[in-house]
Structure 1
Amino acid sequence: MILLRSPSCLLQGLYQKAEALYTMGNFEFALVYYHRGNKLRPELQEFRLGIQKAQEAIDNSVGSPSSVKLENKGDLSFFHKSDGVSWLFYLLYLNHSHKRESKKHGRKIDKSEKTAKELLGELYSDREYLEKLLQDEDLVKGKIRTGERVQDLIVSCISYLDTRTAFWQQQKPIYARQRDRKLMQQQWNRALHKPPSDPTRYVLNSLEEIDTALSAGNTESGLKKARELMKAVKEWSEGVLPNKREVLGNLHSCIGNALMDLGNMEKSLHHHEKDLELAKKGDLMDSKSRALDNIGRVYARIGKFQQAIEVWEEKLPLACGGLEKAWLFHEIGRCYLELKRYREARDYGSRSLMAADDISDEKWQLNASVLMAQAELKLGNYKACVSHFERALDRAKLLQDDSASEAIQKVNTDIPILLSHSLPHPFHHPSCPVAFSIVPFKLH
């Protein structure tokens, strides 16, 4: 073979790459490299044969060129001759003639550009960028390390994109692409709404994924999954998913909590109220308790403390377990404290402390003691206030809760009053400097 005896490594590389691309079925790319080799050494038969077989393969894939109506005028028969005319030069000819015609036929060019944009997709912006690079005279005059001009590289890239555009347009026109896209979207929607083989297990697994995402702080991800699952579940009948109402309520709760974390309180409240509505319709006591819990939290977050109290007091008969009662009594007491109703705040603090004592929960003993100390301070009962702060600091020390200790230690203005009115024993706690801070404690 003449080519293999040639001393040029470039020619061997071009031929081998063209052959490899042809073998892989990438005929148009192979044709480009056959033309490059033929341009350098037109006397070599291997490149001419390569051009011929690659062109035949393309014709077999997309049909004969005679079936394509060319819009460009003039004699293009030279393109089909194996006389060494470069494929890239032909594309440049089309490109330049296209630009000349654009001045006369602005609307047609706009349509052509729209077609190219549709076919190339994200690559269209790359093509525009390459064309802008061609306008940089200093850049296009430069050369790369191999000696090839930058302008030639840019033109080669643009030509390749134009080749792909023409090839894709012949292979599947725009109208066919739009039709196929609509069909795929319809099939996807049907697949999405079609229930899985085991809907209950699918829902449970999905809810677990949502809960994991929300617990890990991936609020956006959890919210997206919850909305997608809700959209699917709404399409299913109760025959497919017997506990559909309960699942939808759970999803409303998840979405509401995610929106609360994102600060969208209005939409969060809407979803929690939907959860409550479904719970009442289905007589689901656990779901009702959950919904009332969350609605109260939203009201408290936006400063509507009276509404929060009313909702949480409705939840009280549904509360089960000492921990839930300790938390609920504490939160109601906090709202009363914010409303300056200090006696009610103290009473609910006492109920929270009793519930915490029943289950020996030191965390909520600490929280309830702080709440009672704050209420007693506002009522002027300084001796009782000191006593509750002492107990709170004991619990904080036992829990090694530095943040709680620091929170109690920051009341710079109230400590002189406490010291001057503590009758039997001044406040000398070994772990407490002379400062307190009245801050709310929240259940996380």
Structure 2
Amino acid sequence: MANIDADLEDQQSKGVFATLMADGKWMYQAGEYKKAIDSFTEALALKPSDKQCFVARSRCYLKMGGFDNALRDAEASLKRDNSFFEGLYLKAEALYYMGEFEFALVFYHRGHKLRPQMQEFRLGIQKAQEAIENSVGSPSNVKLEIKGDLSFLNIGGEVSHNYHSTKTEKTPKSEKTTKQLLGEFYSDKKYLENLMKDEDLIEGTTKSGEKVKDIIQRCLSYLDTCTEFWHQEKPTSAQEMRQKFMQEKCTKRRNSALSSGFLLKSLDEIDREFMSGNAEGTLKKAEEVMKMVQRWSEKEVPNKKEVLGTLHSCIGNALVDLGNMDKALEHHQKDLELAKQCKLPGALSRALDNIGQVYVRNEEFAEAIQV
């Protein structure tokens, strides 16, 4: 009798956990990140070591700008399985948005080694490398030595949070110096500081549940970081440094924002459309993205052929769902051709598998066997 009661209680617990997870995912999709976090936190109370729940909550923290919490949850998902690729990706993302580009690059590479077919890791490597180059110049100009304290990388892949304390302390600056360094941004800084004095305003929350106070503090922190950076660079004049910064930002916008950020976001949207059963939406979005990528040079998108192969695969799968097998086969064959050109085993396997499935749908079994 006791065993029956225990089994019943276990089943009920699993049911509640599944419901909380589903609620959290729904809230996340709706943009209600604070409520999603609450659901995932309740779910973790039932299953304290569930790695999928940790990564789900980590995604919410990322959306809300809580990068420390996002990193903590990502690391928790890796405690029992340090090869859990979703945890590695979220850990890399959290480190990237915390400005720890070198550490982020390490974990993007680890994830890419485990899941070479995942576009997110390849784009992560690209954007982290770009961020490092923007900060310190080309990696070819930097000589790395294997010495010093490497304790930040242990066997489990966990990053020590103590690396924050090793950063250079901010140099005290007068208000006049700050004004010279920030230029036109100085008035924005003063405006934000005045907003922080409005207690009724800062206690308010946004639609997603994030406090206005946290948003303002993040903006002020960013401006402080810019001030410190420009101060340490010691330009011939603050105005020259600002102009140089803005010029670099504009010239690299297409490469960083469009190639990395745009592709990552677009592929994620395409995947969501397909997983929700919206074949027409998948097809439309994938074709739009393909037109843009085709206009870019390989200098702007180094893995252009690889991205095009992924898009051909997405279009082919959507066409299969829409019943257009001939067109679907054309796109999967283009995916296969690009996979061969780029020598990508994962993409090659994907294309062959999709081609075989099209032949089976057409009842062309002899062709399917030969694939």
Structure with the greater alpha carbon radius of gyration: 1
State the TM-score, normalized to the length of structure 1. Answer: 0.29
Report which structure shows greater RCO (CA 8 Å, sep ≥6). 2
